[in-house]
Amino acid sequence: MTVTASAFDKWTDDDIRFYAGMGNRLGLAAPDLLLVLFAESALDPAMPSYAKKDDGTPMAVGINQITSTLNKALGLTEAQRLDMLNWSVSKQLPYVEKSLRLSAASRYDMPDAGGIYVANFAPARLHLGFDGNVLLYDQKLHPKAYAANAPADTEKKGWISLENLRQALRKNLGSSKFQAALARYRSVTGDARAVRISPPPIGSTPIMDRPRAAGGGGGGDLGLAAAGVAAAVFFVWVSRR
């Protein structure tokens, strides 16, 4: 997919300041979240994904690649979701914030951008913690979700881990386009925090289950149902430059 070279130029300084406030409201480090959104869409509000769809209808749209699974929760009709591709950044950002709030990302102390990405990719797995070996999708347990994102399994081990997300984020972190966007974000907001990506785990043993803490956060059933926010377009952004 061709990515617009000046996608972040579509953001005004006011958009960037709103975005920084959004990070504060959600309790998420804005530089980490910026990398996640760059991985999703190169920060382009007009970015569509046609992953696995051949009827001409985008499966995911916009800055956070919203899918139809979230229409009801976000208060959107399908026509409105598809029209997002014509929306300004300022009009889209409140829906980005709502989608992240639905993912339960704000209920966790996120250690890095990888943790935030799990909230988009497989929010029902957030309760498993943030070890790189946390299993997100398994070829046998979650055949459809795994098949839609099989290129993410770079080791061809039959399961997609949190470390696989971090591998892709590291690649995006090195992009000159992301570094330019990050530099502009910093100049507008004064936020000099570094983008965090945890190092690879030792070994490769999947963490498949862990009891939920009583009253603790978690994506619950909404998590896997809403995972299409990112999961359906993962194979697109893995190779994006």
Query: Quick one: pLDDT at residue 148?
Result: 83
Query: Quick one: pLDDT at residue 30?
Result: 98
169: tokens are 């984020």
Query: Quick one: pLDDT at residue 55?
Result: 74
Tell me the average confidence (pLDDT) per consecutive run of 10 residues in the chain, 241 residues long.
Answer: 68 98 97 97 94 76 95 97 98 97 92 96 93 96 90 93 97 96 98 98 88 42 39 40 40
* Domain around 104: 7-238
Query: Quick one: pLDDT at residue 23?
Result: 98
Domain for residue 42, yes or no? yes
Domain for residue 2, yes or no? no
Cα distance between the two ends of the chain: 10
Domain for residue 234, yes or no? yes
Q: Which among 97, 139, 102, 47 has a CA at the least distance from the CA of 227?
A: 102
Domain for residue 93, yes or no? yes
Number of domains in the chain: 1
Using the structure block, give the residue that is written with the tokens 């983008």.
195
- Cα of 77 vs its chain's centroid, Å: 22
Query: Quick one: pLDDT at residue 149?
Result: 86
Domain for residue 1, yes or no? no
3-state secondary structure of 160: strand
Query: Quick one: pLDDT at residue 228?
Result: 44
Instruction: Give 159's strand partners.
Output: 138
Instruction: Give 48's strand partners.
Output: 61
Query: Quick one: pLDDT at residue 81?
Result: 97
What CA–CA distance (Å, rounded) separates 36 from 34?
Answer: 5
Query: Quick one: pLDDT at residue 211?
Result: 55
What CA–CA distance (Å, rounded) separates 227 from 68?
Answer: 11
Domain for residue 115, yes or no? yes
